[in-house]
Structure 1
Amino acid sequence: MDWKEISGNWVLIPRHPIGIVHFLGGAFVATAPQLTYRWLLEQVAEQNYAVVATPFVNTLDHTAIAKSVLQSFEQAIAQLQATSVLRKRYLPIYGLGHSMGCKLHLLIGSLFSVERAGNILISYNNYAAADAIPLVQQFNPAFAVEFTPSPLETQALIQERYNVRRNLIIKFTNDTIDQSAGLIQVLQQRFPEMVTAKTLNGTHTTPLGQDVKWQTGASFTPFDAFGQWFKQEVYRDLNQLRRTIVLWLNPFAVL
């Protein structure tokens, strides 16, 4: 499988897709998700899910971003249905978000009429603009800025209007900016028994991990042994994340 650019999205299409995953990344790494999240997304595609990763540039207006990425995704799906193996087939659509990408999927599920089989929300955070971009107020403390919707408005929207019933929420043990706990409580109240929460080893940047091709020399040296140990330790958390996502999507997946 090779990445292709379709209607502003980066897309991976397996030969026999069984579902579609719409991916949205974190605020400062979302402009090139096919690079920053390459390993994780390719692992999802290897399980026969078509991956549509929508880039975006962060602004204060998160509602506008949510609308824009949804429109871009729908344009890509329409083109794929007209020209590829997705033609004339119903496939379940799942949202997959990391960090700010979680907020965007939550806004999409609250503000727009979409059909989703479920959402996977990794390292959710819903900070105020002053906390997320403190340099703005350092330059001009009197200039008040806030995201649209604000954190409180976002929480109210989710509580009242979020319509995606099945959700997997993943947080990491060493993630100091994660705000999943409050989200878990809200969603479990809204959709009892439809929300799965997992705490995995890792940090906020674990989903960004990439595979390193460690090439041993003609003879196996202590340096090679250290390299293989390092790779095993680094990718243990990433592989646990992959397994958690894949098994939630398909409990019968062969890993």
Structure 2
Amino acid sequence: HAPECIHRLVELGVAFDRHQHQLALTLEAAHSRHRVVHATDTTGRAVVTTLTERVLEQPNIKIISPAFALDLWIDAETQRCQGMSLIHDQTIYWVKARAVVLATGGGGQVFAHTTNPAVSTGDGVAIAWRAGALLRDLEFFQFHPTALNQPGAPRFLISEAVRGEGAYLIDSQGRRFVFDYDERGELAPRDVVSRAIFNHLQQLRQQPGSNGKKVWLDLRSIPPEKVRYRFPNIIQVCQQWGIDILNEPIPVTPAAHYWMGG
């Protein structure tokens, strides 16, 4: 159903990039074809902003924000869910509902490195567990191989599309080391590339005189005008942390990204 979903987003107003009036497609790791639509390098923001605008236009949808969900409201006699308790404006409210959809969010803050925002602390999963829901596959976390690894900076996601457009992963010697671990190199699946980085740094730390603290993502093989067109947000964020991606590589680290279980 992906094509219908994409066309529905276009109808709702999401401004995906286009090439000669067709949706522009890019390549990401483990893909055999260019198949990813994008809105420069802030695709998620473009989708969420547009959907938020459409929701706010609906007179039958009430938004309570900001709010902090506390617990599902379980009927003591029937043990059925009848709503939700939450904090809003420093007051606890009990909101009754015929149906509750619990969209739990992530739990990346369990890990030292995560692309998730600070609020992704697993509260939604805990709420479900307290209410008696069956949890499964919680150990399955997807790690993204390339999050910004600069002192003081958040672990900002350096999009996989950067490698899809031709960026290299290099170690302190400037070697494209991922090919030592998989013939697909930087375009191997995320778990393979993440493990390659982790294992390579472990090996370097055992070699006297080697810098086993960091690896870098090098965009200098991509034409500068293409980098400026495709990745303006990455350019801007890296500049804030003193990195000129057109002239120097970006220090990166694997970071907890998607929580596959729940």
TM-score, normalised by the number of residues in structure 2: 0.30
The structure whose Rg is larger is 2
Q: Quick one: higher RCO (CA 8 Å, sep 6+), 1 or 2?
A: 2
Please identify which structure carries the higher helix content. 1
TM-score, normalised by the number of residues in structure 1: 0.31
